[in-house]
C-alpha cells in the first residue's frame, strides 16, 4: 500500500520578529541594491545578527540607515508591518498574526520593485482607481454649471432612462460637453432631477491617469474592470470625458478595443449607466454606422446663438463678482459693449485654432480677468483686467488683440472728454 502523502504545511513567521535590511546602501548611495526581510538573533558573543529568512544568509549589522560598515549591509530599524500601506492585505496579515513564505515572497518582490511598497493586486487596483476618479455629485457648485441647455439636459436624462445604451455627448472643446454632465450632477445634488436619478452619484474617471499607471501587475483592462465594479457597487453613473480613442478605437490599439467591449457589456448586460463625451470630428466618421448607433445614444450639442452667449456672459460676470467678492459697478453700463467685443474676437473663423467653441472661450476670458483683479487685490473689476486677460490668451491672434486694445483705449477716453 502507498503511504498517504503528508499534508504540506507552509512555514509561518511571527510578524513582530521580522525587520527590513538594505544591502549595498552607503553614504553615496540613493538606493540599495536589494532589500531583504530578516529575523534578529543574538550570537554567542551577544551581538545582534540578522538572518535573511528566504536565503538563510546571516549578516552582522553595526550602523544606522546611512552608515557604511562591514559588508555594506545597513539595518533599517523598522518592523515589517510598518512598511505596509493601510489596505485589506495589511489587515489580513494583522488578523492572522503571522506571515507565510508565499506571502513573504510577494512582499520581497514588491520591496525590490520600482514602487517599493506592498499592497495586494486587488488593493492596488482600488487605490489607483480611487486616485483616477472624481465624484461629481460631491462637488460644491458655486453656480449652475450649464445655462441655456435645458433641451440637451432633458435628452441626457432620457438617454439614462433607457437600457442597454451608452449616452454619448458630442461637441468640440469649449462648447460645454463637460458642463452638461456637471449640470446633471448639480441637479441630482439639489434634488431637482427625476426620481430614478436622485439616489445615484456620478463618478468621473480620468482615462489618461489609468493608462499612465499601468504595470505588469495591473493592466489598463484590470483598471477599467475595477472602475466598472466600483460604479456598480456605488449605484453610480460612470462618466468618461473626451474619450475619443475609446469611442472609435483603432484596430491596432487592443487596450481601447477591449475597454469599449467591457463598457458595452456593462451597459447592455448589467444596466450600468455610462456617459461618454467625444468631439464632432471623431463622431462624424461613424455617425452613419448602424453598429455605432446600436452602441450609443447620441446627444449632439448645438452652437448657441449670440443672444444666448450674451446671457451666459452676463451671468458669468455676476457669478464671478459674487464668488470673488469683486464689484462690477464701474463697468456695469459698458457690459453690453464688452460682451460684443468678446464675441467678435472669439469666433471660430478669427481665432488661431478651430477646436475651441463658445461659451467656453468667452467665459475663460471673464474668469481670468477676475483672477487678475483678485491677485492685484482690487475691490472692483476694471477694463484693464479684461484687456490683460485678452492680451495674454494664447488662442487670440494679434489682429484681434489689437482690436480689443483699441476698443478699451477708446472706452477709457470717454470720461475725460465728458469732463471737458
Query: Given pLDDT bands bounded at 50, 70 and 90, which one contains residue 174?
Result: confident
pLDDT of residue 101: 85
Span 127-138, pLDDT tens digits:
777 778 899 999
Q: How many angstroms separate the most distant Cα atoms in the chain? A: 121
State yes or no: pLDDT of 115 exceeds 80. no
Identity of the highest mean pLDDT range in 37-51, 76-90, 228-242: 228-242
pLDDT of residue 62: 55
Average pLDDT rounded to a whole number, residues 205-215: 79
Query: Given pLDDT bands bounded at 50, 70 and 90, which one contains residue 109?
Result: confident
The three three-digit cell numbers of residue 181, written as one number: 454632465
pLDDT of residue 211: 80
Span 349-366, pLDDT tens digits:
555 444 457 898 899 999
pLDDT of residue 65: 44
Span 14-26, pLDDT tens digits:
888 888 887 776 5
pLDDT of residue 121: 65
Q: Which residues contact 376 (CB under 8 A, 6 or more apart)?
A: 385
- Global pTM reads 0.69
State yes or no: pLDDT of 45 exceeds 50. yes
Q: Give the H/E segment covering residue 254.
A: helix 254-269
Q: What angle, rounded to 10 degrees, do the helices at 220-233 and 254-269 form?
A: 20
What 8-state DSSP symbol labels residue 93? H
Phi/psi for 16 (5° steps) reads -70, -20
Query: Given pLDDT bands bounded at 50, 70 and 90, which one contains residue 274?
Result: very high
State yes or no: pLDDT of 146 exceeds 50. yes
pLDDT of residue 329: 93
Average pLDDT rounded to a whole number, residues 312-325: 94
pLDDT of residue 120: 65
Domain 133-300: state its class.
Answer: alpha beta
The three three-digit cell numbers of residue 283, written as one number: 463622431
Cα–Cα distance measured from residue 149 to residue 182, given in angstroms and rounded to the nearest whole number: 12
Question: Which is it for the CA torsion 396, 400, 406, 411, positive or negative?
Answer: negative
Query: Given pLDDT bands bounded at 50, 70 and 90, which one contains residue 390?
Result: very high
State yes or no: pLDDT of 70 exceeds 70. no
Compute how many other C-beta atoms are within 10 angstroms of the C-beta atom of residue 376: 11
pLDDT of residue 409: 86
Amino acid at each position: 500500500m502507498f503511504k498517504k502523502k503528508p499534508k504540506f504545511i507552509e512555514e509561518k513567521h511571527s510578524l513582530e520578529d521580522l525587520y527590513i535590511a538594505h544591502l549595498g546602501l552607503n553614504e553615496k548611495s540613493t538606493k540599495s541594491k536589494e532589500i531583504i526581510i530578516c529575523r534578529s538573533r543574538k550570537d554567542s558573543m551577544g551581538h545582534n545578527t540578522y538572518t535573511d529568512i528566504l536565503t538563510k544568509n546571516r549578516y552582522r549589522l553595526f550602523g544606522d540607515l546611512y552608515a557604511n560598515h562591514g559588508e555594506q549591509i545597513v539595518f533599517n530599524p523598522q518592523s515589517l508591518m510598518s512598511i505596509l500601506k493601510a489596505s485589506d492585505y495589511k489587515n489580513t496579515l494583522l488578523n492572522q498574526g503571522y506571515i507565510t513564505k508565499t506571502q513573504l515572497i510577494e512582499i520581497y518582490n514588491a520591496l525590490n520593485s520600482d514602487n517599493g511598497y506592498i499592497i495586494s493586486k486587488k488593493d492596488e487596483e482600488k487605490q489607483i482607481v480611487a486616485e483616477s476618479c472624481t465624484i461629481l455629485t460631491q462637488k460644491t457648485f458655486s453656480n449652475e454649471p450649464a445655462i441655456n441647455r435645458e433641451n440637451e439636459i432633458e435628452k441626457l436624462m432620457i438617454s439614462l432612462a433607457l437600457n442597454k445604451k451608452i449616452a454619448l455627448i458630442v461637441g468640440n472643446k469649449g462648447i460645454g460637453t463637460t458642463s452638461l454632465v456637471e449640470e446633471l450632477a448639480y441637479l441630482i445634488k439639489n434634488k431637482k432631477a427625476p426620481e430614478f436619478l436622485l439616489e445615484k452619484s456620478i463618478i468621473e474617471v480620468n482615462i489618461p491617469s489609468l493608462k499612465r499607471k499601468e504595470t505588469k501587475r495591473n493592466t489598463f483592462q484590470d483598471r477599467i474592470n475595477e472602475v466598472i465594479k466600483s460604479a456598480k457597487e456605488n449605484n453610480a453613473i460612470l462618466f468618461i470625458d473626451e474619450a475619443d480613442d475609446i469611442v472609435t478605437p483603432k484596430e491596432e490599439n487592443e487596450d481601447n478595443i477591449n475597454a469599449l467591449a467591457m463598457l458595452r457589456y456593462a451597459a447592455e448586460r448589467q444596466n450600468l449607466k455610462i456617459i461618454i463625451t467625444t468631439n464632432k470630428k471623431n463622431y462624424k466618421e461613424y455617425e452613419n454606422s448602424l453598429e455605432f448607433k446600436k452602441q450609443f445614444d447620441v446627444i449632439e450639442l448645438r452652437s448657441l446663438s449670440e443672444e444666448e452667449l450674451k446671457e451666459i456672459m452676463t451671468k458669468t460676470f455676476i457669478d464671478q463678482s459674487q464668488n470673488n467678492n469683486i464689484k462690477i459697478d464701474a463697468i456695469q453700463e459698458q457690459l453690453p459693449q464688452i460682451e460684443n467685443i468678446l464675441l467678435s474676437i472669439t469666433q471660430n473663423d478669427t481665432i488661431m485654432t478651430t477646436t475651441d467653441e463658445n461659451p467656453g472661450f468667452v467665459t475663460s476670458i471673464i474668469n481670468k480677468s477676475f483672477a487678475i483683479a483678485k491677485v492685484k487685490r482690487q475691490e472692483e473689476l476694471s477694463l484693464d483686467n479684461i484687456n490683460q486677460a485678452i492680451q495674454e490668451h494664447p488662442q487670440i491672434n494679434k489682429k484681434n488683440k489689437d482690436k480689443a486694445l483699441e476698443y478699451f483705449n477708446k472706452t477709457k477716453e470717454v470720461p475725460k472728454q465728458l469732463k471737458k
